[in-house]
Structure formats: C-alpha cells, structure tokens
C-alpha cells in the first residue's frame, strides 16, 4: 500500500530523494505554488507544508497529517481545520539556536549602544552612546518553550538574571531564576531590563503587549520580539517608543510583513528592525529535513509524532 506525500514547498532533488528513501511505499509529489498543491492534493495522505490554504486540505479527503515548516502554526488554525481529525506537527526546535543567538545579538547591541553607533557612523559623526553591561541585568522571557529556553541558557552564560512566565509553570524549568504562570505577566514586565517575546501567537496572546503593558515596563527597558508581530499592539508600541515610555525595541516580526514603508518604526533611532530572519541559519534546513523524515518514519510505523500541535491551544 502506497502513501502519497505532497511537498508544497520548493525542495532540491536531493531533499526529495531523502524523503523517498524513508520508505519504498512512498509516492512523493512536489508543488511549487498553491494552485499546484491543490491540484495534486486529492490522494495525498501527508502534506509537508510551505504553501497552505484552507482550499488545500479541503481538496485532500485522504489527508491525515500536516507537517509545518515553521514553529508558528497560526496560519493553519481556521475553525474547520481545527475541528478536523487531521494531525498537525510543527518545526519547534529547528530554529531555536539561531533565534536565541539573534535575541542575544539584539541585547548586546542595545547594551553597547550599537543601534546609535551605526547611525553615527552613517552620519560621519564621532559620538559616544550610553552603554551598559548585561551582567546583573534582568531578562524577562514570555514563553519558555524551545526558543525561550535557548535564550535563557545563553543569557545565564552572560551573567544575567532570568525570569519568565509561561502557561504551565509547573513543568520543569531550566535556566530561569524565577518562573511563574501567565497571570504573573505584570510582575515580569515591571522587573525586566530586557523583555523577550518567545511565545506562540494564539487568540489568548494576540496583542499581549499593548498600551497598559508598556506602561508597566521600565522607561530604561528594551523589548525584543522574535515571536509573531501580532503579539504586540504596534501603534501602542510606536507611541511608547516615541514618548520614551520604554528605551527601545528589537523587532524581527510585524503585524504586516514586509513592514510597510510608511511605518514610523523604520525611522526611530531606538529601534532595530530585522526582516523576519532570526531563524535563518546554514543548518536550519538540514534540521527541518531531519525532523520531517523522522516524523514520516514514525507516521508509517504508527508511532507518536514529534512536535504534535494541540490545534485548539494553538501550539
């Protein structure tokens, strides 16, 4: 009995061969755009998703499992798909190392004033920025999954105090000096010299950081968002940055991407913008392929899949 795998993302011939090598019972088909994916979905039992839409899974009556190529899965979670029996797995862990390094890079840039030094360089001006040390400073982390844990690991290596909140604080904690439940968010905001958003975007976390939360933060605090743009009320953030309610922000994700040219965030001297590339690494694709192939082996063997998403929880 054959199992059809639809790859709705661009992969090399070597990658496709690696998938095929998992089992001789597989039929592997690739689609390079949404229209091709829908046209080739009728007999697919597995989708390795890049291109995705509600029309895709509705065109695949035999579909049993979808592997997301990203850690965030909000684009999949329409009411119909949530209610369906189709399994969804994500790429949690694949991007944790480069994203954690990206967060630390932003913390160091703000601590050493590099966001201002680079602007001075472009203006041919010899100016001394205000600088700090990370050692002894408090890093607050919202979300202590794979990414948050890797951020905390590196922050502890730099001598920072690490505090965190997550939905299930009873789970074992690593690298956090203090870990509390999600209801302790005001405590976290008030304590943090640096704040890292490492949580998933769900209905419960949309605009998690808004005007009220920004008012709780220290005026000397920096915010870093590598989760999803929807975690922050962007107009409220822009206002807080302009007024000096917080010291600055390092933003890799935005409500609309690419960030529109008219956004005031582009021109703020206390903001560092990166183009949703925190997870990029020469090793990320290899990790993603390894995860999918292992999950494919497990699926064929009837074993539990890695990174199974609770579709109702959103992660």
In a domain, 311, yes or no: no
Selected catalytic residue, list 133, 257, 303, 313: 257
Q: Are residues 23 and 151 in the same domain?
A: no
- Do residues 108 and 220 both lie within one domain? yes
Do 135 and 218 lie in one domain? The reply is yes
The tens-digit pLDDT sequence of the chain (315 residues) is 899 999 999 999 999 999 999 999 999 999 999 999 999 999 999 999 999 999 999 999 999 999 999 999 999 999 999 999 999 999 999 999 999 999 999 999 999 999 999 999 999 999 999 999 999 999 999 999 999 999 999 999 999 999 999 998 887 778 999 999 999 999 999 999 999 999 999 999 999 999 999 999 999 999 999 999 999 999 999 999 999 999 999 999 999 999 999 999 999 999 999 999 999 999 999 999 999 999 999 999 999 999 999 999 999
Of the residues 115, 166, 228, 234, which is catalytic?
Answer: 228
Contact present, 201 and 227 (Cβ < 8 Å)? yes
Q: Is 276 a catalytic residue?
A: yes
Give domain status of residue 203, yes or no. Answer: yes
pTM of the entire structure? 0.94
- Check whether residue 106 and residue 246 sit in a common domain: yes
Structural domain contains residue 309: no
Tokens for 302?
């009837």
pLDDT reported for residue 199: 96
User: Is 47 found in the same domain as 119?
Assistant: no
- Say yes or no: 73 and 112 in one domain: no
Same domain, yes or no, for 90 and 100?
no
What pLDDT does 174 receive? 85
Are 145 and 164 spatial neighbours (Cβ–Cβ below 8 Å)?
Answer: no
SS3 286: helix
Whole-number Cα distances in Å, 33 to 10, 67, 207: 9, 17, 31
Do 218 and 293 reside in the same domain of the chain? no
List, in sequence order, the alpha helices (H) in the chain: 13-20, 34-39, 54-58, 79-83, 96-111, 114-122, 146-157, 185-191, 211-216, 234-243, 284-301
Please check whether residue 220 lies inside any domain of the structure: yes
- pLDDT at position 170, please? 82
Do 59 and 172 share a domain, yes or no? no
The count of structural domains within the chain is: 2
CATH number at residue 149: 3.40.50.720
- Examine the residue annotation and report whether 234 is marked as an active-site residue of this protein: no
- The answer to whether residue 307 is domain-embedded is no
From the list 112, 276, 285, 287, the catalytic residue is 276
| Residue 315 counted as domain residue | no
Q: Which residues pair with 249 in a beta bridge?
A: 223, 271
Residue-range definition of the domain harbouring residue 38:
3-94+282-301
Looking at the fold, whether 155 and 253 belong to one and the same domain comes out as yes
Question: In this structure, is residue 114 part of a structural domain?
Answer: yes
Q: Confirm whether 115 is a catalytic residue.
A: no
Residues 102 and 84 in one domain: no
306 within some domain: no
Residues 109 and 196 in one domain: yes
d(CA 59, CA 245): 49
């Amino acid at each position: 009995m054959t199992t059809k795998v639809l790859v709705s993302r661009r992969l090399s011939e070597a990658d496709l061969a690696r998938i095929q090598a998992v089992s001789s019972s597989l039929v592997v088909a690739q689609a390079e755009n949404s229209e091709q994916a829908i046209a080739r979905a009728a007999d697919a039992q597995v989708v390795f998703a890049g291109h995705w839409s509600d029309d895709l899974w509705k065109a695949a009556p035999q579909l049993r499992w979808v592997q997301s190529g990203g850690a965030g899965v909000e684009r999949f979670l329409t009411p119909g798909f949530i209610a369906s029996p189709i399994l969804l797995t994500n790429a949690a862990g694949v991007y944790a190392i480069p994203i954690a390094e990206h967060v630390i890079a932003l913390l160091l840039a703000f601590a050493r004033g590099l966001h201002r030094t680079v602007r001075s360089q472009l203006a041919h001006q010899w100016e001394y920025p205000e600088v700090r040390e990370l050692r002894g400073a408090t890093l607050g982390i919202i979300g202590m999954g794979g990414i948050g844990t890797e951020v905390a690991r590196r922050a502890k290596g730099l001598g920072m105090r690490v505090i965190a909140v997550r939905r299930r604080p009873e789970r074992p904690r690593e690298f956090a000096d203090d870990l509390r439940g999600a209801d302790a968010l005001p405590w976290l905001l008030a304590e943090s010299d640096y704040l890292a958003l490492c949580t998933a975007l769900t209905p419960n976390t949309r605009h998690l950081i808004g005007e009220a939360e920004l008012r709780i933060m220290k005026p000397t605090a920096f915010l870093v968002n590598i989760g999803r743009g929807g975690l922050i009320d962007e107009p409220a953030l822009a206002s807080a940055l302009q007024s000096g309610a917080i010291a600055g922000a390092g933003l890799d994700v935005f409500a609309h991407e690419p960030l529109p040219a008219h956004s005031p965030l582009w021109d703020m001297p206390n903001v560092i913008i990166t183009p949703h590339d925190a997870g990029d690494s020469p090793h990320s694709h290899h990790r993603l392929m390894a995860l999918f192939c292992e999950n494919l082996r497990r699926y064929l063997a009837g074993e539990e899949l890695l990174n199974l998403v609770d579709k109702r929880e959103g992660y």
